Each structure stands twice: as structure tokens, then as C-alpha cells.
Amino acid sequence: MTKDRPDGVKPRRVLVLGATGTIGRATVRALVSRGHEVVCLVRRPANAAIPVGAVEPSRVSAGATERIVDLTDPSSLARDGVRDESFDVLVSCLASRTGLPDDAWAIDFRAQVSALHASRAAGVTHVVLLSAICVQKPTLAFQHAKLAFEEMLIASGVDYTIVRPTAFFKSLSGQIDRLKRGKPFLVFGDGTLTSCKPIGDDDLGGYLADCLDDDERRNRVLPIGGPGEAITPKAQGERLFALLGREPRFTHVPVVLLDVIVAVLATIGRWVPALATKVELARIGRYYATESMLVLNPATGRYDAQATPSTGSETLFDYYARVLRGEAVAERGDHAVF
């Protein structure tokens, strides 16, 4: 491993949170390939049913160590995770699974705060945090929770690198199966209300890993997108149809329909508590239907594709082609909002 380490990379002991997600796995692969010693603190699967005495299979990339902890319990982080050992860097790809208020504040804020305290006690002097570009215009609970931790990290005194990526490939792949079944591509409005510069897992994982050795990324908040021009939902649909060899067909959904859904759920939710979570999910859906995942120009209040940095080599359309050829699987999981 050492002989293949890129020039300028100093091997470190790295704690990683969120290592079992798609971005987390890519980041761990990148860290291991650069010669770092990687220890992943992971949550026990919610539906785990491991027999007594059985060894649970590792869910992290080869070359890394997995330690199961309760991320919501500071004592578990110290006892089961850090184990009185020394570390150099904390890399957090941790995110709440649903984005709902209770989950967001428990994971995106409190668990991150506990991990920051535990890692500082273990000697960590640099934190690389995977955040999200949407926090620049916060209206949702998970955005406020992420921002609250960003502010605490910046004020903590440790070196930090806060990375705010644009859209992920997996978040833009939910309609592939729909089109394969002969159905039209769903867009809000005319399909050009929003745009983004999506970034692939491996490109983002490599960018995060490189933050350990790039001094110019220290103590900065860094928006980052993938290669190429900004892409609208309409362009996504057109390319998917072209890859399938079919004529484009779209169903246009008025944004006002989302407003009606939010209003109705909010009203009924006053008497039916079970619908309260549906309200927040509807708000999340409306946000992504109407807000671009690009850098927001504070002077103009407009999203700016030219001001959104790019990195990597794989485009969203490259990824679509790989999925359709069976070379990649669109893992959406809790990102399947609609």
C-alpha cells in the first residue's frame, strides 16, 4: 500500500463516520488507497438479526477496520469507538437517514457534536465534514441541524474542512426503472425550474480524502460539483430516453400541487400525529423540486452555475449509461423521497 501512496500524502490514523453509505464507502476506499489507517465507527443496522455467537460481516471497504457504536451515546463513542487510542483526523460522512426533525437533530447535530468531542480527546486536530450545498438556503429541519454543527465546528478551534457537494447521482436516478417500463419522465413545471452539477461517489470520495493533505482546503467551506455544465431535470430525462433509444415523453407536474399537498397534510396533521412526518417529507420534496443545487450568489439571490466549482471525471450521463448496461446499481435507500 505504501509504495502506491500519492506524492505528498502523509499517512494518518483516521476516524470515519458514515462509512456504510455510498459516499462513505467511496471515501473509505480513497483513504485506504492513499495509505491511511482507517477506523470506521458505524451504527448497528436497524433491522439486524444476527444470531447469538455469530460474527457480523463487515460493511466497510477492505483495508479499513469497523467498530460498531451507538453514535447517539457519547460513552459508546469513547468506549466502543475511540478505545483510548490516538487519531489524527476525523472524516464525517454521517447524515440522518430520513431528514425528519427528530432524526436530523439527533444525528446531524448531537451525534456529530459527540464525535467531535470524542475525537478531540483522542488527539484529532483536523475534521473533514461532508455537509450539503442546500444549507446555504435553509428552510428544513435537517438543514438547520447541519448548519448548527458547522457553526460549532468552526468555533471549536480545530482545523476544519467543510465540503458542501451538489446533487448525488443516486438522488437523480429514481426514474430509470420507470422509463424502462415505458412510462414518461416526471418533471415539475417545464422541467427547467432547477439545475445542478451532480457529482459521483468516487469523485467526491477522492475529493474528501485529498482534503487531508491540501493546506488550501483548511479552515474553509467548500462547495463542489461534478464535471460539465449544469443539468436541468428536462435534460436528465432527454438523455435517459436517448440512452434507451426512445422518443422523450414527459409528464409535467405543477409546483402548486406540492403546495396543496403540504397544506392539506399540515392541516390534517394537527389531528392525526402520524401525518406530521409526511408533512416534512412533502416539504423536502418541494424544496428539491424548486431549488437548484448550485452556489447561491448572496448579492443577487440567484443560483450561479459558473460560481459552482467542479471536480472529477464521471458525469451523470456516464453513470446513467453504466446503470443501463448493468455495470452500476442505483442505490437510493432513504434518498427515495418521491
Q: Report DSSP letters for 218-234, one per residue.
A: TTEEEEEB-SSS-B-HH
**Grid coordinates given for 181:** 417500463
β-bridge mates for residue 16, sequence order: 40, 91
> CA–CA separation, 140 vs 287, rounded Å?
8
* Weakest-pLDDT range from 101-115, 260-274, 297-311: 260-274
> CA–CA separation, 96 vs 240, rounded Å?
30
> CA–CA separation, 15 vs 34, rounded Å?
15
Query: What SS3 state is found at 64?
Result: coil
- At 205, the pLDDT band (50, 70, 90 cuts) reads very high
Q: Which residues contact 273 (CB under 8 A, 6 or more apart)?
A: none
* Weakest-pLDDT range from 9-18, 268-277, 280-289: 268-277
Mean pLDDT of the chain: 91
37-42 and 159-165 strand pairing: unpaired
Which of the two residues, 79 and 3, has the higher pLDDT score?
Answer: 79
Q: Which residues contact 33 (CB under 8 A, 6 or more apart)?
A: 1, 4, 209
User: Is residue 335 a contact partner of residue 170, using CB atoms and an 8 Å limit?
Assistant: yes
Cβ neighbours around 190 below 10 Å, total:
11
- At 16, the pLDDT band (50, 70, 90 cuts) reads very high
pLDDT of residue 1 exceeding 50, the answer is no
The whole-number average pLDDT for the span 186-209 is 97
User: Is residue 130 a contact partner of residue 223, using CB atoms and an 8 Å limit?
Assistant: no
Q: Please measure the distance between the N-terminal and C-terminal CA atoms of the chain and give it in whole angstroms.
A: 42
Per-residue model confidence (pLDDT) at position 57? 61
Per-residue model confidence (pLDDT) at position 336? 46
The length of the chain in residues reads: 338
> CA–CA separation, 299 vs 131, rounded Å?
23
The whole-number average pLDDT for the span 122-126 is 97
- At 48, the pLDDT band (50, 70, 90 cuts) reads low
In sequence order, which ranges of the chain are alpha helices (DSSP H)? 22-33, 74-76, 101-104, 112-121, 141-154, 176-180, 201-210, 233-244, 255-269, 276-290, 316-324
**Grid coordinates given for 22:** 455510498
> CA–CA separation, 60 vs 165, rounded Å?
22
pTM metric for this prediction: 0.91
pLDDT tens-digit series, residues 144-171: 999 999 999 999 999 999 999 999 999 9
Per the listing, cell 446499481 goes with: 329
The whole-number average pLDDT for the span 13-37 is 96
Which of the two residues, 275 and 184, has the higher pLDDT score?
Answer: 184
User: Is residue 99 a contact partner of residue 141, using CB atoms and an 8 Å limit?
Assistant: yes
What amino acid occupies position 319?
Answer: Y
What amino acid occupies position 138?
Answer: P
DSSP character at residue 173: -
User: Is residue 312 a contact partner of residue 200, using CB atoms and an 8 Å limit?
Assistant: yes
> CA–CA separation, 115 vs 12, rounded Å?
18
**Side-chain-facing half-sphere of 83: CA atoms under 13 Å:** 10
- At 277, the pLDDT band (50, 70, 90 cuts) reads confident
